[in-house]
Amino acid sequence: MENGFEIDSQDNGSMRINKYLSAAGVMSRREADRMLDEGRIRINGNTALKGDRVYQEDIVLFDGKKISAESDRVILLFNKPKGIVCTSFKGDKNNIIDYINYPRRVYNVGRLDKESRGLILLTNMGELVNPLSKAGNYHEKEYVVRVDHGITPEFIEHMRNGIYLEELDATTRKCQVIKTDYNEFNIVLTQGLNRQIRRMCNAEGYHVHDLKRIRIMNLMLEDIPEGKYREITPAEEKELFIELNIDKK
């Protein structure tokens, strides 16, 4: 990589135009090919064609706007509202990508179901996905949960020690659970079964009224307003990479 331009080693310091546009966070390679077919990409004033290559000194325009290949990584902390779906599928009008409308191409790491809210990460770093999502890594995620009636000591004990979920044929891991109010508790999970907390509560005869994720590892929701996002701080990023054993300079 040189000055933010990741060259293709086989071709004298250049990059294919569709890869260049993807690296710039403007669009996927498939989308770039479609834009090329429509004649909306220009290189040094000339209409670009599929297979054209871009050099560092070239000027690339998309619909008349200059594009620069960006190497900077993006990690966003987003406070997801209820009703937003953790998908990039454009057919869903409530998809998370259109909702945040970030100027560069990002995607969510992990999920929160449509009726849940709180902290979720979005990034352009593919190498974050597996370390964060793999249950075997035991990364902590913390939630505040409100249910439909009073919480008993037996409920807390069962939640802590693991509950068999028949529909998934799986038993949840032991976890930290603390009662915080008459019908509210905090729970820290190190696995991510489908709708796990809701299923656990249902198995104990409770219905979840509100579920909010407030922490992913060292990253806290804290004062991010609902529906808003902020970029990760350098200190947060450094600690996260250490915990994930990701080597980034």
Q: Of 113, 148, 181, 210, which residue is the catalytic one?
A: 113
Q: By the 8 A CB rule, do 53 and 17 touch? A: yes
Going 245 to 24 to 91 to 119, the CA torsion angle's sign is positive
Whether the pLDDT of residue 79 is over 80: the answer is: yes
Spatial distance between the Cα atoms of 190 and 56, rounded to a whole number of angstroms: 44
Query: Residues near 70 by Cβ (< 8 Å), separated by ≥ 6?
Result: 4, 23, 24, 25, 104
Q: Which helix (H) or strand (E) holds 62?
A: strand 60-62
Q: By the 8 A CB rule, do 161 and 138 touch? A: no
Tell me, yes or no, if 72 is annotated catalytic. Answer: no
Q: Residue 120 forms beta bridges with which residues?
A: 78
Query: For 75-132+233-244, CATH number?
Result: 3.30.2350.10
Q: 140-216 sits in which CATH class?
A: alpha beta
Topology (CATH level 3) of domain 14-67: 3.10.290
Closest to 25 (Cα-Cα) out of 132, 129, 131, 123: 123
* Residue written as token pair 């729970």: 187
Q: Binning pLDDT at 50, 70 and 90, where does residue 11 land?
A: very low
CA 54 to chain centre: 30
Domain ranges (residues) in the chain: 14-67, 75-132+233-244, 140-216
The residue ranking higher by pLDDT, 2 or 148, is 148
Q: What are the tens digits of pLDDT across the range 103-142?
A: 777 889 989 999 999 999 999 887 788 888 776 788 999 9
Mean per-residue pLDDT for 8-20?
69
Q: pTM value? A: 0.73
- What confidence score (pLDDT) does residue 245 get? 86
Spatial distance between the Cα atoms of 173 and 161, rounded to a whole number of angstroms: 7
Cα–Cα distances (Å) from 99 to 81, 83, 86, 119, 228, in that order, read 10, 11, 10, 15, 10
CA 185 to chain centre: 25
Q: By the 8 A CB rule, do 18 and 33 touch? A: yes
When computed from its CA atoms, the radius of gyration of the chain, rounded to whole angstroms, is 22
Mean per-residue pLDDT for 18-40?
84
